[in-house]
Amino acid sequence: MFNLWSVSMRYIFISPHLDDAVLSCGGIIHFLVNKGHQVDIWTIFSGDPEDENYSDFAKNLHKRWKLENQNPSFARRREDKNACHILGAKFKHFPYQDCIYRKYENGMSIIQNEEDLFQKISGNQIVIIDKISNSLKKRIPHNSMIVSPFGIGNHIDHQIVKSSIIKLQHPYLWFYADFPYVLKNNQEYMSDFPINYDQEEFEITENSMKLWQIAVSSYTSQISTFWSGDKEMFSQIEEYAKKGGGNKLWKKLDIN
């Protein structure tokens, strides 16, 4: 039986934000590194804010993250470097801004509240898709394996990244389930095959599981987004894995 990891390739995991790929695929990433593959994590929305004219929503996030007195993006990039080091992956940080810092043509922040994070792509946000796609096209080696988020949960930045990658029409494109958004959405991405997709399953060892959890704990500022602390995060990742989550990738089947 052919395994996705049986042929030596470079694996590039595309992460919308500075934590998504590690949250979703930390166990798989360490597994691949352990098999001797080069694994990269490329984060798209990791650039510095254009200015400090933040929305109230962004200011409240900075306060919760305990990053209100420093450049939040710089601090988060530092967290990501630590997480990648733990898993043995290389990193690349792109200059695009997180949606909480972006504005419409009229200067209004596109994100005013929690619900806005899950809006449809519209207005000047649509052109970002082509910008990211063109940027990736110049940098992605043709014979590398690209691993994209599915966009489960419909976070606008995840939607933009997925759309950008699909436009590439890369020959080796796989998808991962966006954790922890997948817990509140479609359970088929944990235990069953999504319709019209091929599935590849990875063996997540106890060591890979532990390093996955430790790597996620590197994102100190982001733990409060989903959990009360590291203990709850460790427990949820372990429970997710026991139910079949975090160990699969999917490839769209060609259906004529």
For residue range 52-78, list pLDDT tens digits in order: 999 999 999 999 999 999 999 999 999
Residue that is written with structure tokens 């019209």 in the block: 196
Give the C-alpha separation, 92 to 103, whole Å: 24
Please give the average per-residue pLDDT across 112-138, as a whole number.
Answer: 97
Could you give all domains of the chain from N- to C-terminal order, each with its CATH number? Answer: 10-127+142-252 (3.40.50.10320)
| Residue 6 pLDDT level (bands cut at 50, 70, 90) | low
CB distance 60 to 34 below 8 Å: no
DSSP label at residue 181:
G
The predicted structure's pLDDT at residue 142: 87
CB distance 43 to 22 below 8 Å: no
> Could you check whether the bond before residue 72 is cis, i.e. omega within 30 degrees of 0?
no
This prediction has a pTM of: 0.94
